[in-house]
Structure 1
């Protein structure tokens, strides 16, 4: 099972999104393969590092990018943290989030980069896709 933590600043939007994704997992019969939870890592500060150890990947809202960068620079964060592109955070399609989560976990095993990002996406605010990195060609409008 891949355990995915969704996080925003105070837990308001992340709690809604995590519940939406968990419900979609249940509806599609994928709740034995993936689980979603939320946690406000920004409010937790350095205590977040211990919470992150319970998950395979943490996906955070775009406005936490500077906090995440600072947290990873100052602490030994052993769970990949991925700052979601703004459009993806706004839509959160289950299959696309899961695809990215799997790719992030595998990529992190290889390079241990944290915060983790896909090639060419080191600034999440410039990323315009709504779909998973490997499916971004589907995102042409």
Structure 2
């Protein structure tokens, strides 16, 4: 089971992206638990995740979250703004899987 956490400013703007990512995972036969939280909940939810992807509008939070992610050995990156804007669940899922393989 892959556990993918998305964080954005309120946790709501990524909800559609989560749905698209779940659909892409199902099509690929990948068992995944994908959820989105607001930036203030990201640190606590990281302990339950295999990877953290941050919404482009939260790029400024990356440095702050990297410390906790490093302590938990969780890869972290900012979601590509084009994939985010297009709600391209497959592209974002692929990025998460790629980060987990590193």
Normalising by the smaller structure, the TM-score range is 0.7 to 0.9
- Of residues 60, 64, 82, the one that matches 2:77 is 82
- Aligned counterpart, 1:43: 40
Q: Does 1:101 align with 2:93?
A: no
SS in 2 for 1:53: helix
Q: Is the 8 A contact 2:21 2:93 kept in 1?
A: no
- 1-structure distance, mates of 2:65, 2:32: 26
Query: Which one scores higher on RCO, CA 8 angstroms, separation ≥ 6?
Result: 2
> Aligned residues, how many?
99
- Corresponding residue of 2:14: 14
Q: Is the 8 A contact 2:5 2:35 kept in 1?
A: yes
Query: Equivalent of 1:53, from 47, 55, 61?
Result: 47
Unaligned runs of 5+ in 2: none
For structure 1, the residue ranges without an aligned partner over 5 or more in a row are 108-141
Instruction: Determine if contact 1:2/1:33 at 8 Å carries over to the other structure.
Output: yes
Q: TM-score, normalised by structure 1?
A: 0.59
Higher strand share: 2
Which has more helix, going by share of residues? Answer: 2
- Structure with max Cα Rg: 1
